Structure 1
């Protein structure tokens, strides 16, 4: 089972290695990136090729980065490939641009590939996926609205006071173990860490149906999600009595039982 996990107050992660919750102490970040929060998701500003101040969704749930074809301002890109865009509404072929440069604060990435997708909104210019986060440990601080990028091998980072969790990669999707507690029974699963999701904690359809979760929790409504191609999907929202995450208990949490079979 892979689900989307609600964001926490302070998140620090190395893609492919681990997650910890704490402060860094004496380690000096490679760059500090201010961010804004709109509709529960994180946006940062970056430079692509010669175009500066592009608004990117910071998305730990995306393994590739994207340029939005509906954006008012778009960088100068060469379309030189094709790729498959896989989402909750299915898979489709889209254009791709390779060999680009992106500046993320003081960090420069070269030979960057962007998938080109029309999100049918000009609210943002692109998506920063985990392909641009690898090689760094980064700390998302919701108190100061800053993302601090540290070099992965920084010797000044101490992990002694940190809560540490094993990080799973499911098709390059970062996830951690957690449990739902319903009527005294535990339902263990792998929960995705998706900073690009603005919805509720979402349970994947195959797991929800196999465990008959909809009938075991109180239905409190429904929610509509929109795919990258504009298609809509409606799913029930139920109230989970207890979620056990990293030894902590969260009570009466609304969760969405996905009806999608892909993504």
Structure 2
């Protein structure tokens, strides 16, 4: 699982260059076996890398293994205070000013951080923050992301769902059906998580997940900095997002009063089942079931 992390705030002014006449830009991606979106990128007009598009990330990062192979990345600073999902404090090196190209889009003066892990088969990650003020479409049927200046007409055919933005992260509200009843909770949109659902400790306790559902196994989760936790795995009878229903959904939780997992996560194994549009103001997400809706869930 990739890190849900907060990087130190930098005062960065970067340029975003596209052809002015273009109203939309298309970025091809590959959906990996780990439910991650892998996208080709070029760094400093020199190095070609595969970056994971991460809906819960707020910076561009590269893994330590990837950095060893690159010619154009130079680190000038470091910090020991980065918080991640699996650890309260982590060290990371910083390369302060880089050029990043994805498709026809070019960003200048981009800071890049180094960490340990990314999605399998990728060299690092980037987040939604690169497309500030833009509409983002993720079409899993066509394996493309499309970046718009204005809302596309096709949004009318999608289910409109309210987004909740907290600390620059995007959440939606969903209903979970267990043998003890139906419980509503907020879930972080987390395309870096290969699984379907991961419950926060408080929700798992209040909804009596451990009592009402049979634990079918355990799963090792690792964040971007190599911190590891073991989660319990169950099968959720039902999961609903504004009338969009899924059944027999794998879900994870941590047993005991850990207090570490403070947010619930909606991962790539659910996100890939919908073509997605996120509005420019990050107020609403639009979902439409796609050809992967009935696909089997990834084995835990």
Deviations 1:222-249 (A, max 9, x none): 1111122323211111111111112122
Aligned partner of 1:51 in structure 2 is: 46
With 244-253 and 180-189 compared, the bigger mean Cα shift is at 180-189
The normalised TM-score by structure 2 is 0.70
Q: Superposed, which structure 2 residues align to 1:73-222 within 5 Å?
A: 73-74=69-70, 75-80=72-77, 82=79, 84-91=81-88, 92-119=90-117, 123-151=121-149, 154=150, 157=153, 159-183=155-179, 185-222=181-218
Which of 26, 33, 40 does residue 32 from structure 1 map onto? Answer: 26
Structure 2 CA distance, aligned partners of 1:131 and 1:255?
A: 28
Contact 1:80 1:97 survives alignment (8 Å): yes
- Give yes or no for the alignment of 1:238 onto 2:238: no
The normalised TM-score by structure 1 is 0.79
- Report the Cα offset of residue 96 of structure 1: 1.9
Aligned partner of 2:246 in structure 1 is: 250
With 202-211 and 60-69 compared, the bigger mean Cα shift is at 202-211
SS at match of 2:234: strand
- Report the Cα offset of residue 53 of structure 1: 2.3
The structure carrying a bigger strand percent of its residues is 1
Contact 2:60 2:111 survives alignment (8 Å): yes
Contact 1:50 1:76 survives alignment (8 Å): no
Structure 1: runs of 5+ lacking an equivalent: 5-27
- Report the Cα offset of residue 99 of structure 1: 2.4
- Report the Cα offset of residue 166 of structure 1: 0.9
Deviations 1:37-72 (A, max 9, x none): 222111001112122421101111212220212115
The structure carrying a bigger helix percent of its residues is 2
SS at match of 1:192: strand
- Give yes or no for the alignment of 1:61 onto 2:56: yes
- Report the Cα offset of residue 122 of structure 1: 8.5
Does the C-alpha gap of structure 1 residues 161 and 119 become closer, same or farther in structure 2, counting only changes over 3 Å? closer
Runs (4+) off by over 4 Å: 155-158
Greater relative contact order (Cα 8 A, min sep 6): structure 1 or 2? 1
SS at match of 1:70: helix
Structure 1 CA distance, aligned partners of 2:142 and 2:188?
A: 24
Structure 2: runs of 5+ lacking an equivalent: 5-21, 263-300
Structure 1 CA distance, aligned partners of 2:52 and 2:84?
A: 16
Contact 2:200 2:261 survives alignment (8 Å): no
Structure 2 CA distance, aligned partners of 1:244 and 1:155?
A: 25
SS at match of 1:218: coil
How many positions carry a matched residue from both structures? 235
Structure 1 CA distance, aligned partners of 2:109 and 2:214?
A: 49
Aligned partner of 1:16 in structure 2 is: none
